[in-house]
């Protein structure tokens, strides 16, 4: 294994992807990770689910990739319904982290170039409220900007 490649760290979160570009949704239980993911991935959306609830990270050079642990691959928790089978993408490169917070904790004008580290790689990070109707659109805009900066 190369010195710049690390694998196997598992984080609490939900990973969705637009093509190969992933968005890691983080937040405490009940913050809306799975609900927001469902709104992003419901067909005919171009978004796909990679993993719900836990994400296994690996690093290769300056990219962090996320996958589902085998035990939960292909499953999505839908509050009020239960755990349902869902088609998934095998993996995605994490380009954006969204920390889900209460509405009053979303900054009106966030710091430019705010980032968080995954496996020592800095990744753009924002705070949003999962249950705002515009949040899926905000994530799409943010991901487009993150990918263009690559």
Non-local (6+) Cβ contacts of 41 within 8 A are: 16, 47, 48, 49, 86
Task: Give this prediction's pTM.
Answer: 0.93
- The answer, yes or no, to whether residue 146 has pLDDT greater than 90, is no
Distance separating alpha carbons of residues 25 and 15, to the nearest angstrom: 6
Active centre residues (catalytic): 12, 33, 53, 108
> Does pLDDT of 5 surpass 60?
no
Please report which residue ranges of the chain form alpha helices under DSSP H.
Answer: 33-41, 135-148
What length is written for the chain? 150
The string of pLDDT tens digits covering residues 51-75 is 999 999 999 999 999 999 999 999 9
Domains defined for the chain, CATH in brackets: 5-148 (3.40.50.300)
- pLDDT bracket for residue 3 (50, 70, 90): very low
Residue 68 CA, chain-centre distance (Å), reads 12
Helix, strand, or coil (residue 25): strand
Q: Max alpha carbon distance in the chain (Å)?
A: 45
């Amino acid at each position: 294994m190369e010195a710049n490649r690390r694998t196997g760290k598992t984080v609490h979160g939900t990973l969705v992807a637009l093509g190969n570009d992933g968005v890691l949704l983080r937040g405490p239980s009940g913050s809306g990770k799975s609900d927001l993911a469902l709104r992003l991935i419901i067909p005919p959306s171009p978004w796909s689910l990679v993993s719900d609830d836990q994400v296994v990270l690996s690093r290769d050079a300056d990219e962090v990739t996320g996958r589902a642990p085998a035990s939960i691959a292909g499953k999505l928790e839908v509050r009020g319904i239960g755990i349902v089978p869902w088609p998934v993408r095998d993996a995605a490169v994490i380009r954006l982290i969204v920390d889900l917070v209460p509405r009053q904790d979303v900054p009106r004008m966030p710091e430019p170039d705010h980032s968080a580290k995954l496996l020592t790689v800095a990744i753009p990070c924002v705070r949003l409220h999962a249950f705002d109707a515009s949040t899926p659109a905000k994530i799409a805009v943010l991901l487009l900007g993150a990918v263009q900066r690559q």
